[in-house]
Chains A and B, each alone.
Chain A
């Protein structure tokens, strides 16, 4: 496997690293990994490097790149909304990987805001065949609130602290250090349904690091209804992991899940197709 560095895009403003498996897999689906927040293309704790190299070893061509104004990428100089920029940037990325690896369809992978970016593009771009949403859209449901509040109501130590007016030691859990600005729940449900109607395959993996608004595997269904029972939707709640997978063991478990989902849904065949 050989990684290659590229400056590319409609304004040659984007920087990315393509991983091109050897021997070439001409019909394999291409995998594009999007920025997680403002972290440059290597991902939190280099997760995107580990992920793309693993997938290269399985035969998938990959591209990890920086969206406009993030990491090493510059602005395109166009007057566009952020959504338009992201869709155009990902389109540029698909063009590059298509040229380099001859793939026509793509799977997008994104964590946190990267999931949001993947969602935007997956809603409209016909070249997207699947998406992996890591800590994507979620909503505090009734079930969430019950799971959150009931243990606290039954916690005698907590009541004693309150009654004795002792301030509980702050665990800093009041304000989440990160969040995905939510689209309305009904819109996301409809978006998922639309993606599935178009034949996309979806993988939702959420971590315990977003416990401010997501705290159980059941919450996938509470949030998105029957959509998550669709055979082309895979969900997994990795309760023990944090939002950015700081421990190597957690990161490996995440990558195991992503690799398994890809190999089951977009298998690389002997002739390189998927």
Chain B
């Protein structure tokens, strides 16, 4: 087996070893490290392949990478109903600490897609990131919650999915396959990511008709780059189709390579 695969080690870490991580070691000693913050819910599953490809691309550039799952998500401990915004921020800081210990690198960068991007931006100070690349981050939680609620309600009448229509109660207290608590719903609805305190690259691939709230956010410390192909985050017909984007991987790899 190639040493590259051997360099990708799965493990548990953090208090009570509750968090799952997969460390991508670079081939040689490194001075750079990147923490990949996953999105939540179905976006997490859809982006899994892309995150792995990105981690491998960064490792090939000599950059150490840690992928991880927040409490209540992926392979980490906790049920899906236990997902909590503040816990996600705290877990991100713990994961950043773990990456520092494993690499000896103090200056970390972060990447995140959708809510993962929001988490990377919101936790930048707590986790001590030197820079953040955020792909279509959710900046306005209320609009995002309304969209998720609408997609969840529409599931009940989805004739491609169900043999018989379902009752609204069957879909209650969930977002696209995942149980959610009232507190998480409120936390996401209240989400309003402040202007970044660190250099940030915003990668925009939302469809043209999707409302944006980048105005006022993209301040002088931030840089926005538009990807030519829109990402179908909210297309219910592609709810279980993987999100893949080579332009995104190239853009993030270039940003991380050039980051001082």
Most buried by B among A39, A49, A71: A49
Against B, the Cβ 8 Å flags (1 = close, 0 = not) of A178-214 are 0000000000000000000000000000001101000
In the complex, are the beta carbons of B12 and A3 less than 8 A apart? Answer: yes
Measured CA separation A4–B163 after assembly (Å): 39
Given contacts A12-B1, A44-B240, A49-B75, contact A71 B48 (CB under 8 A): yes
CB contacts under 8 Å to B, within A214-259, are: 215, 239-240, 242-244, 246-250
Q: A residues within 8 A CB of B12?
A: 3-5
For chain B, what secondary structure do more than half of its interface residues adopt (helix, strand, loop), or is it mixed? mixed
Contact of A211 among B9, B77, B163 (CB under 8 A): B163
Given contacts A5-B20, A72-B10, contact A240 B163 (CB under 8 A): yes
In the complex, are the beta carbons of B161 and A242 less than 8 A apart? Answer: yes
Query: Which of A100-108, A152-160, A169-177 contacts its partner?
Result: A169-177
The answer to the question of A28 belonging to the interface, with a C-beta cut-off of 8 Å to chain B, is: no
Interface size range on B against A: 35 or more
In the complex, are the beta carbons of A46 and B5 less than 8 A apart? Answer: no
In the complex, are the beta carbons of B11 and A208 less than 8 A apart? Answer: no
Closest residue to A5 on the B side, CB-wise? B10
Q: A residues within 8 A CB of B6?
A: 7, 12
In the complex, are the beta carbons of A6 and B10 less than 8 A apart? Answer: yes
The answer to the question of B179 belonging to the interface, with a C-beta cut-off of 8 Å to chain A, is: yes
In the complex, are the beta carbons of A44 and B45 less than 8 A apart? Answer: yes
Contact of A46 among B52, B80, B159, B162 (CB under 8 A): B80
Contact of B242 among A4, A38, A42, A247 (CB under 8 A): A38
In the complex, are the beta carbons of B163 and A72 less than 8 A apart? Answer: no
Closest residue to B163 on the A side, CB-wise? A208
Q: A residues within 8 A CB of B237?
A: 172
Closest residue to A240 on the B side, CB-wise? B164
Measured CA separation A74–B5 after assembly (Å): 7
Measured CA separation A247–B177 after assembly (Å): 6
Given contacts A171-B159, A246-B161, contact A77 B2 (CB under 8 A): yes
Q: A residues within 8 A CB of B179?
A: 248
The answer to the question of A76 belonging to the interface, with a C-beta cut-off of 8 Å to chain B, is: yes
In the complex, are the beta carbons of B74 and A209 less than 8 A apart? Answer: no
In the complex, are the beta carbons of A77 and B166 less than 8 A apart? Answer: no
Q: B residues within 8 A CB of A15?
A: 8, 10, 22
Q: A residues within 8 A CB of B49?
A: 38, 40
Q: A residues within 8 A CB of B75?
A: 3, 5, 17, 41-42, 49
Against A, the Cβ 8 Å flags (1 = close, 0 = not) of B174-215 are 101111000000000000000000000000000000000000
The answer to the question of A58 belonging to the interface, with a C-beta cut-off of 8 Å to chain B, is: no
Measured CA separation A17–B74 after assembly (Å): 11
Measured CA separation A3–B20 after assembly (Å): 10
In the complex, are the beta carbons of B166 and A39 less than 8 A apart? Answer: no
The answer to the question of B246 belonging to the interface, with a C-beta cut-off of 8 Å to chain A, is: no
Contact of B74 among A4, A42, A44, A173 (CB under 8 A): A42
The answer to the question of A45 belonging to the interface, with a C-beta cut-off of 8 Å to chain B, is: yes
In the complex, are the beta carbons of A45 and B178 less than 8 A apart? Answer: yes
Contact of A246 among B52, B74, B155 (CB under 8 A): B155
Against A, the Cβ 8 Å flags (1 = close, 0 = not) of B39-71 are 000100100110010000000000000000000
Q: In the complex, how many angstroms separate the beta carbon of B54 from the nearest chain A beta carbon?
A: 13
Q: B residues within 8 A CB of A127?
A: none
Closest residue to B178 on the A side, CB-wise? A45
The answer to the question of A11 belonging to the interface, with a C-beta cut-off of 8 Å to chain B, is: yes
Closest residue to B240 on the A side, CB-wise? A244
Q: A residues within 8 A CB of B161?
A: 209, 242-243, 246
Measured CA separation A242–B155 after assembly (Å): 10
The 4 A-B residue pairs whose C-beta atoms are closest, nearest first, are A45-B177, A208-B163, A171-B159, A5-B10
B interface vs A, CB < 8 Å? 1-2, 5-6, 8-12, 17, 20, 22, 42, 45, 48-49, 52, 73-75, 77, 79-80, 155, 159-164, 166, 170-171, 174, 176-179, 237, 240, 242
A-B contacts besides A71-B52, A243-B161, 9 pairs, CB < 8 Å: A3-B77, A17-B75, A40-B45, A40-B48, A72-B22, A172-B237, A173-B160, A215-B163, A248-B174
A interface vs B, CB < 8 Å? 2-7, 11-13, 15, 17, 38-42, 44-46, 49-50, 71-72, 74, 76-77, 171-173, 177, 208-209, 211, 215, 239-240, 242-244, 246-250
